[in-house]
Structure 1
Amino acid sequence: MKIGIVEVAERAGVSEATVSRVINRRAGVSAKTREAVERAMAELGYERSTRGQIVAVITPWLSNPFFTDVAELIEAALAPHGLKGVVCPALPGGIQEREFVNALAEHGVAGVVFLSASNTIEGADPETYDVLAARRIPFVGVNGGFEGHDAPVLSTDDPMSAELAVDHLWTLGHRRIGLASGPSGNRPADRRVEGFRTAMTRRGAADSDAPVVRQHYTIEGGQSATSELLKRGVTAIVAASDFMALGAYRAVLREGLSVPGDVSVVGHDGSTIMEFVDPPLTTVRQPIDRLAKEVARSIVALVSNRDVPRGELLFSPELVVRGSTAPPRRA
Structure 2
Amino acid sequence: MKIGITEVAARAEVSEATVSRVINRRAGVSAKTREAVERAMAELGYERTTRGQIVAVITPWLSNPWFADVAELIEAALAPHGLKGVLCPALPGGIQEREFVSALAEHGVAAVVFLSASNTLDDPDPETCEILAARRIPFVGVNGGFEGHSMPVLSTDDVMAAELAVDHLWRLGHRRIGMASGPVGNRPADRRVDGFADAMRRRGVDDPSSLVMRQYYTIEGGQSATAALLGRGITAVVAASDFMALGAIRAIRREGLRVPEDVSVVGYDGSMIMEFVDPPLTTVRQPIDRLAKEVARSVVALVSGRGVPAGELMFSPELLVRSSTAAPKA
Task: Say whether the fold is shared (TM-score over 0.5).
Answer: yes
Correspondence for 1:140: 140
| SS at structure 1 position matched to 2:313 | strand
Contact 2:153 2:313 in 1 (8 A): yes
Q: Which residue of 1 aligns with 2:67?
A: 67
State the distance in 2 between where 1:20 and 1:279 align: 57
Query: Could you tell me how far apart the structure 2 residues matched to 1:25 and 1:224 are?
Result: 46
Report the equivalent of 2:48: 49
Question: Contact (CA 8 Å) 2:282, 2:325: kept in 1 or not?
Answer: yes
Question: Corresponding residue for 1:201?
Answer: 201
In the aligned structure 1, how far is the partner of 2:209 from the partner of 2:132?
46
Correspondences of 1:108-127 after superposition (within 5 Å): 108-127=108-127
CA contact (8 A) 1:3 1:44 kept: no
CA distance in 2, matches of 1:144, 1:284: 19
CA distance in 2 between counterparts of 1:328 and 1:67 reads 33
Match runs of 1:97-246 below 5 Å: 97-207=97-207, 211-246=211-246
Question: How many pairs align?
Answer: 325
**Cα distance in structure 2, aligned partners of 1:289 and 1:195:** 24
Q: Which residue in the other structure is 1:37 paired with?
A: 33
Counterparts of 1:9 and 1:123, CA distance in 2: 43
Contact 1:176 1:209 in 2 (8 A): no
| TM-superposed deviation, 1:23 | 3.4
3-state SS in 1 of match to 2:310: coil
The alpha-carbon deviation at position 26 of structure 1 amounts to 5.0
* Preserved contact between residue 222 and residue 244 of structure 2 (Cα < 8 Å): yes
Given that 1:178 and 1:209 are in contact with CA atoms closer than 8 Å, whether structure 2 keeps it comes out as no
- Asked if structure 2 preserves the Cα contact closer than 8 Å seen for 1:120 and 1:188, the reply is yes
Distance 1:326 1:213, change over 3 A: same
2:25·2:110 contact (CA, 8 Å) conserved in 1? Answer: no
Cα drift, residue 100 of structure 1: 0.8
TM-score (norm 2): 0.93
Provide the rounded CA distance (Å) in 2 between the counterparts of 1:3 and 1:41: 12
> Which sections of structure 2, spanning at least 5 residues, go unmatched?
none
Q: Distance in 2 between matches of 1:70 and 1:273?
A: 14
Q: CA deviation at 1:146?
A: 1.1
3-state SS in 1 of match to 2:278 = coil
Q: Residue 19 of structure 1: CA displacement?
A: 3.7
Instruction: Report the residue type matching 1:293 in the other structure.
Output: K
Contact preservation (8 Å) 1:242, 1:268: yes
Instruction: Give the drift of 1:45.
Output: 4.2
Secondary structure class of the residue paired with 2:122: coil
Distance 1:301 1:58 in 2: 19
TM (normalized to structure 1)?
Answer: 0.93
Paired with 1:9 and 1:209, the residues of 2 have a C-alpha distance of 63
Alpha-carbon distance in structure 2 between the residues aligned to 1:5 and 1:98: 35
Q: 2:146 corresponds to which letter in structure 1?
A: F
Rounded to whole Å, the distance in 2 between the matches of 1:115 and 1:234 is: 33
In structure 2, the residue matched to 1:265 is 265
Q: CA deviation at 1:7?
A: 5.1
Q: Match for 2:50: what amino acid? A: R
State the match for 2:314 in structure 1. Answer: 314
Once residues 173 and 210 of structure 1 are traced to their aligned partners in structure 2, the CA distance between those partners, rounded to angstroms, is: 20
Q: For 2:34, what is the secondary structure of its paired residue?
A: helix
Q: Deviations for 1:74-107, whole angstroms, at most 9, x for unmatched residues?
A: 0111111111111110100111111111111111
Distance 1:5 1:124, change over 3 A: farther
1:93-148 deviations in Å (ceiling 9; x for gaps): 11111111111111121111100000000111221111111111111100001111
Amino acid at match of 1:291: L
Q: How does 1:239-258 map to 2 (within 5 A)?
A: 239-258=239-258
Contact in 2 for aligned 1:242/1:269 (Cα 8 Å): yes
What SS does the aligned partner of 2:86 have?
strand
Residue-by-residue CA offset, 1:221-264 (whole Å, 9 max, x unaligned):
00000001001110000000000000001100111111111110
Check the 8 A contact 2:41/2:47 in 1, yes or no. Answer: no
- Counterpart CA distance in 1 for 2:8 and 2:315 is 43
**TM-aligned CA distance change 1:208 to 1:96, over 3 Å:** closer
Query: Does the 8 Å contact 2:9/2:15 carry over to 1?
Result: no
Q: Is 1:292 aligned to 2:288, yes or no? A: no
